[in-house]
């Protein structure tokens, strides 16, 4: 029940069922009672006709003509019956249609009162009966009680009701179905903006989009706006963090550089060496602390897709300038479509440190390959390998290098810190750094970052 | 050669400038980005040292602007952040090398010399042309393995000419690039120094290292050695 769509559809169908159920019951009841009323009126009419046709005989009884006005009384099994009973309950007269049919005597009505009853014939046919007790004035001036009774079979009435119900259910089922269908279509339409927001947030997380498009219905513009504010403030926060670090680095390192320059101008050599050592330590601490991965600050909302090939090309161009005199041959094997999902600074830090180390240590050749860590080029996973033809790193030294992030060789400063930073960034993305022997003869550094 | 140092920290800038002047360079100093860009565009500069974090105008903007205006002198950036993002941005904008603070001043002078040589088309730290050898890091000139004693101004001239070996350098250019102050720029002074240099380097008139092109200037005429 997590989908709004399903929730709405289920609650709407429950409501519909309840509403239609009540309507069906009300309609059915109304139709039935109207039908019954009509039936009773007809029966009353028949009774009146019989009363009018009855004539007293000299013998002190009542007599009816053989052919009544209503032909159904004359047809056997027509479903309309009439009989006349005396005060002892004895049958005085029965219509021809009642031949072979036993109309139950039923309850005796009080004089002058019409009594309607639902009764059942011997053969099981339900009938509606109307009895009327009258005091009939005989020719001799005496009054004698008679009971007139007419009965009509309810078979056709019931069949009509059943037909009506069938139609009622049929129509309501059809209407309910159409309503549910149109509601679900409508919901799809109404929920489309929500689905779009969901898709766009997904794209933002994938780094394919910078912010929500902002073209949403009134009810959602607030949500979209706040979402954008959140994203922007997240970005601003990470930018601010970087600017703060920049300023901090600048304001700490410029005085350190100035101190160094001053030491150079005067004072004894021993004095200068000791101070320089302290400056080195301070510098190292500042560098290490300030080069922590940006990704721990940058949540998934601020990650972007970085075009690996272009970034590496920029890096290689830069390094070619810096190592102009050494002139290493840097070969890169990177697919045009290769993307890294994360912070561009983090990517440059990984690639830059590894390539810079390779430039320092290589004899002539460097090879860099970047490929997806899984089959998909754009899922953000990455396997980055930098190999060189330098002296290489023995296995024990490699372990030590990876574990402690210390400098392996004091004469080439920054080797250790660079690797420690690469390792830390790789780990912050859930990946790892490995050192092996390259087929070019030197060291091979492999950073694997899984798709997120 | 005339260098430009753009750095907002006065102590650092001044001691760097002092050290570079010691190394035989004329040095212009700028304390903020706008002033720095003005010097870069309007002065005859051979190399600029640009701090990335500057007031008024960032180092990156200065580099971009200077390159856009067609300035081709080498640029060395000083950066406090040693994130690769900053270095790559700087190199991408047109810088040629970087030094991360806190640097040793010697590191800067070494990079400056390397960049100057590179801009003249020299790959090695020692420039050789025929029997003439100039070691920029030691400020040492030898002809046929014999060291030549030079005054600082003589050294500046031969260094400038040799870095640009094969190119014609006008007297005006030499005065502009080599004098530190705007004192009387008398082109006769240059002629005098060139004459002294010729005497010191080529007392017997056998190698003719410096050619005079009448009305145009001077040219270091010897073929570049294998290292160049």
Chain B residues lying within 8 Å of A287, measured CB to CB: 82
Query: In the CATH hierarchy, which fold is given to the domain comprising B126-220?
Result: Arc Repressor Mutant, subunit A (1.10.10)
Q: pLDDT of A31-74, one tens digit each?
A: 999 998 999 999 999 999 988 888 888 777 788 887 788 888 88
Chain A residues lying within 8 Å of B19, measured CB to CB: 261, 264-265
Cis status of the peptide bond prior to A450, with omega within 30 of 0:
no
* CA angle centred on A146, ends A141 and A149, rounded to 5°: 150
Q: Does the pLDDT value for residue A384 go beyond 70?
A: yes
Which chain B residue shows the shortest CA-CA distance from A312? Answer: B88
The pTM (predicted TM-score) of the whole model is 0.66
Interchain pair B15, A264: CB under 8 A: yes
Chain B residues lying within 8 Å of A247, measured CB to CB: 53
Q: Using an 8 Å Cβ cutoff, are B81 and B102 in contact? A: no
Chain B residues lying within 8 Å of A264, measured CB to CB: 15, 19, 104-106
CA atoms of A293 and A353, how far apart (whole Å): 13
Nearest-Cα distance to chain A for B102, in Å, is 4
- Using alpha carbons, select from A398, A386, A384, A389 the residue that is nearest to residue A326: A389
pLDDT reported for residue A144: 84
Scanning A266-343, the segments in alpha helix (DSSP H) are 269-290, 308-322
Asked if the domains B2-119 and B126-220 are classified in one and the same CATH topology, the answer is no
- Name the band, by pLDDT with cuts 50, 70 and 90, for residue B181: low
Average pLDDT over residues B77-85: 86
A397 at interface of B, judged by CB pairs closer than 8 A:
no
Interchain pair A279, B102: CB under 8 A: yes
CA atoms of B40 and B62, how far apart (whole Å): 8
CA atoms of A397 and A403, how far apart (whole Å): 10
Q: Does the pLDDT value for residue B184 go beyond 60?
A: no
Nearest-Cα distance to chain B for A413, in Å, is 12
- Name the band, by pLDDT with cuts 50, 70 and 90, for residue B91: very high
* CA angle centred on B27, ends B114 and B176, rounded to 5°: 95
The separation between the first and the last C-alpha atoms of chain B, rounded to the nearest angstrom, is 20
Q: Which residue is it, tokens 């056997």?
A: A76
Cross-strand bridge partners of residue B77: B50, B98
Interchain pair B102, A348: CB under 8 A: no
pLDDT reported for residue A54: 86
Query: What contacts A322, CB < 8 A, 6 or more positions away?
Result: A359, B91, B97, B98
- CB neighbours (10 Å) of residue A237? 14
CA atoms of A371 and A384, how far apart (whole Å): 7
DSSP β-ladder status, A329-334 and A365-371: parallel
CA atoms of A269 and B155, how far apart (whole Å): 28
Chain A residues lying within 8 Å of B54, measured CB to CB: none
CATH architecture of B2-119: 3-Layer(aba) Sandwich (3.40)
Interchain pair B88, A352: CB under 8 A: yes
Average pLDDT over residues B6-10: 93
Q: Does the pLDDT value for residue A408 go beyond 50?
A: no
Chain A residues lying within 8 Å of B118, measured CB to CB: 324-325
Nearest-Cα distance to chain A for B184, in Å, is 31
Interchain pair B105, A261: CB under 8 A: yes
- Domain ranges in chain B are 2-119, 126-220
Scanning chain B, the segments in alpha helix (DSSP H) are 10-22, 33-42, 59-68, 84-93, 105-119, 152-163, 171-178, 187-201
Nearest-Cα distance to chain A for B124, in Å, is 7
pLDDT reported for residue A297: 44
Burial of A381 (0-12, 13-18, 19+ CB in 10 A): buried
Task: Report residue B77 as tokens.
Answer: 């950036």
């Amino acid at each position: 029940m997590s989908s709004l769509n399903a929730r709405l559809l289920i609650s709407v169908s429950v409501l519909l069922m309840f509403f239609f159920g009540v309507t069906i019951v009300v309609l059915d009841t109304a139709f039935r009672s109207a039908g019954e009323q009509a039936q009773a009126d007809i029966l009353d009419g028949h009774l009146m006709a019989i009363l009018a046709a009855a004539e007293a005989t000299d013998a002190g009884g009542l007599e009816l003509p053989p052919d009544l006005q209503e032909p159904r009384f004359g047809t056997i099994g027509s479903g309309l019956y009439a009989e006349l009973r005396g005060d002892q309950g004895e049958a005085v007269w029965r219509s021809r249609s009642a031949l072979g049919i036993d109309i139950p005597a039923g309850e005796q009505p009080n004089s002058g009162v019409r009594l309607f009853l639902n009764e059942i014939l011997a053969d099981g046919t339900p009938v509606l009966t109307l009895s009327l007790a009258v005091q009939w004035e005989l020719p001799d001036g005496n009054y004698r009680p008679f009971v007139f009774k007419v009965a009509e079979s309810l078979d056709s009435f019931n069949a009509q009701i059943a037909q009506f119900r069938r139609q009622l259910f049929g129509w309501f089922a059809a209407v309910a179905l159409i309503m549910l269908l149109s509601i679900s279509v409508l919901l799809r339409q109404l929920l489309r903006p929500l689905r779009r927001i969901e898709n766009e947030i997904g794209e933002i997380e994938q780094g394919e989009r910078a912010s929500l498009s902002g073209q949403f219905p009134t009810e959602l513009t607030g949500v979209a706006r706040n979402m954008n504010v959140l994203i922007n403030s997240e970005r601003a926060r990470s930018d601010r963090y970087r600017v703060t670090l920049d300023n901090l680095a600048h304001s700490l390192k410029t005085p350190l550089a100035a101190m160094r320059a001053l030491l150079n101008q005067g004072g004894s050599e021993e004095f200068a060496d000791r101070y320089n050592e302290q400056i080195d330590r301070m510098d190292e601490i500042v560098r290490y602390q300030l080069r922590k991965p940006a990704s721990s600050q940058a949540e998934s909302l601020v990650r972007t897709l970085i075009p690996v090939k272009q970034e590496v090309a920029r890096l290689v161009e830069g390094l070619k300038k810096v190592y102009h005199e050494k002139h290493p041959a840097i070969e890169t094997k990177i697919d045009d479509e290769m993307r890294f999902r994360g912070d561009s600074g983090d990517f440059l830090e990984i690639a830059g440190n590894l390539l810079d180390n390779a430039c320092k240590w290589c004899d002539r050749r460097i090879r860099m390959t970047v490929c997806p860590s899984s089959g998909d080029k754009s899922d953000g996973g990455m396997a980055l390998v930098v190999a060189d033809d330098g002296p290489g790193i023995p296995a024990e030294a490699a372990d030590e290098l990876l574990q402690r992030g210390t400098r392996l060789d004091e004469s080439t400063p920054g080797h250790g810190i660079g690797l420690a930073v690469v390792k830390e960034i790789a780990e912050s993305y859930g990946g790892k750094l490995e050192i092996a022997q390259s087929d070019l003869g030197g060291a091979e550094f492999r950073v694997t970052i899984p798709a997120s | 050669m005339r260098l430009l140092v753009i750095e907002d920290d006065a102590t650092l800038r001044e001691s760097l400038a002092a050290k570079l002047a010691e190394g035989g360079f004329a040095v212009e100093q700028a304390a903020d980005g706008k002033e720095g860009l003005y010097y870069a565009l309007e002065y005859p500069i051979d190399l600029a040292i640009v701090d990335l974090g500057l007031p008024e105008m960032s180092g990156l903007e200065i580099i971009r602007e200077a390159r856009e205006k067609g300035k081709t002198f080498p640029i060395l950036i000083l950066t406090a952040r040693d994130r690769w993002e900053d270095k790559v941005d700087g190199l991408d904008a047109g810088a040629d090398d970087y030094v991360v603070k806190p640097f040793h001043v010697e590191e800067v002078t070494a990079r400056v010399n390397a960049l100057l040589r590179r801009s003249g088309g020299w790959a090695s730290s020692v420039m050789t042309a025929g029997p003439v050898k100039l070691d920029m890091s030691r400020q040492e000139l030898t002809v046929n393995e014999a060291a030549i004693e030079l005054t600082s101004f003589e050294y500046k001239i031969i260094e400038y000419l040799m870095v640009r070996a094969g190119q014609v350098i006008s007297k005006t250019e030499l005065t502009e690039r080599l004098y530190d102050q705007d004192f009387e720029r008398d082109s006769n002074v240059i002629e005098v120094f060139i004459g002294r240099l010729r005497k010191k380097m080529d007392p017997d008139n056998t190698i003719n290292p410096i050619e005079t092109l009448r009305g145009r200037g001077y040219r270091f005429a010897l073929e570049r050695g294998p290292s160049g």
